[in-house]
Amino acid sequence: MGWLWAIIVGFVLGVIAKAVIPGKQHSPLWLTTICGILGAIAGNAIARALNVAETRGIDWSRHIFQLVAAIIIVAVVDSLYVATVGKRKRRQV
């Protein structure tokens, strides 16, 4: 069940990150979901390092760290994806 939640949270974080980043992103949904999962893992690690991972109620700070990490990862991966796919498409022409 842990993997299912990781995929769901990764999907949600990835979609929110794509919505926050200005401009059009060209990466596919499966790659965005993987970036969201990586953002959740990185955000949890940062929250743990700052001792804010476990609080009473909703862990807003942990969620903010997850979202910021997902935004950064989605932006970087999307730019790499565009550079890689763009090179392939230019070679085919």
Express each pLDDT in 40-62 by its tens digit.
999 989 988 998 867 777 778 88
Q: How far apart (Å, rounded) are the C-alpha atoms in residues 81 and 87?
A: 10
The model's confidence at residue 1, banded by pLDDT at 50, 70 and 90, is low
* 71 domain residue, yes or no: yes
Determine what percent of the chain is predicted with pLDDT higher than 70: 89
Q: How far apart (Å, rounded) are the C-alpha atoms in residues 92 and 86?
A: 10
Q: Give the chain's mean pLDDT.
A: 86
* 22 domain residue, yes or no: no
* 47 domain residue, yes or no: yes
What's the pLDDT score for residue 34? 94
As for how many domains the chain has, the answer is 1
Range of the domain at 57: 2-16+29-92
Torsion of CA 33, 38, 39, 43, to 10 degrees: 150
Average pLDDT over residues 18-47: 91
List the alpha helices (DSSP H) in the chain.
2-20, 29-49, 60-92
Other CB atoms within a 10 A radius of the CB of residue 6 amount to 15
Q: How far apart (Å, rounded) are the C-alpha atoms in residues 44 and 66?
A: 7
What's the pLDDT score for residue 26? 87
* 37 domain residue, yes or no: yes
End-to-end CA distance of the chain: 46
